[in-house]
């Protein structure tokens, strides 16, 4: 790769996993069974084991996973569910889809995960659950969040959509809450060749209810006992995800290595989002700079792709206006300064060096201007 060849933000084509992915697809086609079959069952048990959870239930996507986990906990109309302001809007949209009201609260300035104090401040008698987001792959501050949930008897549904295999204080995320949810959108640390998601739980009743809700609320074939949805993980995605699952520990280790290279090589003038826990799995590597837009343009000129996670906090999104969210100044300031640098397991050390060098050159030129 030369200094001017394109370095895209991500690369979703199968790499070392390609032969196994192709074999998985061929197997499903050969079998001729495409929805809720042996591949989904095999993936569910492999994924549950990888997460150190008792049950995993495959669903159509991460958004549905949140909605169905909340519904399985009997949370819906009239209830409030706390979500952080800085996340994929889907976290909040999933709460709305459950019938509940999202209560959007601010994030901590260093890690940009849910601020436990802000969370405690909005609890009312209507609050039924907290959905902490392990943003960018970093566990939210679960000890403090759990204390609030315990004090007010709230459920916790952890949004692990960006945090496959992350740990908090050495404990696998999602295993100490009522339920936790994952997305297998292609860009995720474990991604399919399309949409996919899962709910993990240690509670047999929640797993059974999510299984029923994902399949139209059927107790058995053609007997619908509640208004469920159609949100089934398909056999092709399940087969691909299972083929990729055993690569995930090595891919995660590589993400951590690349993140530490960035931390060592980037100028002090750019602020990387802080790492509170080494269980961080670096789904993304965002940095902050007031001149964010100029930096993105400079990197684009040099052939380096970036994205912004996220340019608009939930508190400022039109879609949530009806819920009259309070201002979330920490999230709003971050949203104006964040830019995510390329980070995925197929990047070379030299790619990271090139990005860091280009960022540092921009910062130097900018400070001299």
Contact residues toward ligand PLP (CB under 6 A) are: 61-63, 87-88, 90-91, 133, 159, 161-162, 183, 185, 195, 197
Task: State which residue, 112 or 155, has the beta carbon closest to ligand PLP.
Answer: 112
Minimum CB–partner distance for residue 213 and ligand PLP (Å): 16
Task: State which residue, 60 or 116, has the beta carbon closest to ligand PLP.
Answer: 60
Task: State which residue, 71 or 354, has the beta carbon closest to ligand PLP.
Answer: 71
Minimum CB–partner distance for residue 244 and ligand PLP (Å): 16
Give how far the C-alpha of residue 166 lies from the chain's centroid of Cα atoms, to the nearest Å: 11
Going by their DSSP bridges, the two strands 80-84 and 55-59 should be labelled as unpaired
Q: Which residue is nearest to ligand PLP (CB)?
A: 62
Listed residue (262, 347, 349, 246) closest to 10, CA to CA: 347
DSSP 71: H
Rounded CA separation 230/43 (Å): 19
Minimum CB–partner distance for residue 183 and ligand PLP (Å): 3
Task: State which residue, 320 or 362, has the beta carbon closest to ligand PLP.
Answer: 320
Minimum CB–partner distance for residue 47 and ligand PLP (Å): 14
Rounded CA separation 230/212 (Å): 10
Minimum CB–partner distance for residue 87 and ligand PLP (Å): 5
DSSP characters for 125-185? Answer: TTEEEE--B-GGGPPP-HHHHHHHHHHHT-EEEEE-TT-TT-EETTEETTSSSSEEEEE--
In 55-90, which positions are buried (b, 16+ CB within 10 angstroms) versus exposed (e)?
Answer: bbbbbbbbbbbbbbbbbbbebeeebbbbbbbbbbbb
Task: State which residue, 87 or 306, has the beta carbon closest to ligand PLP.
Answer: 87
Rounded CA separation 363/86 (Å): 26
Distances (CA, A) of 217 to 95, 196, 208, 213: 19, 19, 11, 4
Task: State which residue, 159 or 234, has the beta carbon closest to ligand PLP.
Answer: 159
Rounded CA separation 247/67 (Å): 29
Minimum CB–partner distance for residue 122 and ligand PLP (Å): 20
Task: State which residue, 198 or 352, has the beta carbon closest to ligand PLP.
Answer: 198
Minimum CB–partner distance for residue 187 and ligand PLP (Å): 8
């Amino acid at each position: 790769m030369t200094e001017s060849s394109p370095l895209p933000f991500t690369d979703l084509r199968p790499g070392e996993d390609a032969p196994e992915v192709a074999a998985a697809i061929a197997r499903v086609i050969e079998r001729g069974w495409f929805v809720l079959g042996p591949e989904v069952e095999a993936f569910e048990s492999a994924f549950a084991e990888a997460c150190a959870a008792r049950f995993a239930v495959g669903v159509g996507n991460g958004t549905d996973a949140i909605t169905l986990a909340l519904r399985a906990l009997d949370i819906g109309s009239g209830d409030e569910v706390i979500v952080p302001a800085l996340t994929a809007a889907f976290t909040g949209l999933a709460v709305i889809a459950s019938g509940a009201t999202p209560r959007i609260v601010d994030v901590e300035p260093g890690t940009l995960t849910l601020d436990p104090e802000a969370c405690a401040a909005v609890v009312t008698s209507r609050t039924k659950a907290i959905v902490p987001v392990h943003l960018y792959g970093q566990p939210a501050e679960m000890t403090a969040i759990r204390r609030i949930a315990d004090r007010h008897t709230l459920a916790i549904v952890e949004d692990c959509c960006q945090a496959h295999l992350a740990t908090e204080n050495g404990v696998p995320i999602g295993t100490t809450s009522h339920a936790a949810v994952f997305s297998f959108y292609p860009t995720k640390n474990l991604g399919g060749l399309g949409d996919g998601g899962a709910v993990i739980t240690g509670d047999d009743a929640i797993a059974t209810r999510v299984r029923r809700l994902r399949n139209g609320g059927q107790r058995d074939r053609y007997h619908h006992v509640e208004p469920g949805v159609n949100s089934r993980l398909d056999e092709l995605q399940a087969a691909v995800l299972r083929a990729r699952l055993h690569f995930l520990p090595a891919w995660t280790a590589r993400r951590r290595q690349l993140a530490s290279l960035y931390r060592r090589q980037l100028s002090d003038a750019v602020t990387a989002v802080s790492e509170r826990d080494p269980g961080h799995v670096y789904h993304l590597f965002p940095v902050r700079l007031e001149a964010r837009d100029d930096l993105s343009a400079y990197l684009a000129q040099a052939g380096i792709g970036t994205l912004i996670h996220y340019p608009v906090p939930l508190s400022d999104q039109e879609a949530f206006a009806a819920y009259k969210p309070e201002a979330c100044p920490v999230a709003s300031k971050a949203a104006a300064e964040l830019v995510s640098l390329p980070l995925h397991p197929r990047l070379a050390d030299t790619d990271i060096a090139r990005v860091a060098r280009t960022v540092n050159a921009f910062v130097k030129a900018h400070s001299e201007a």
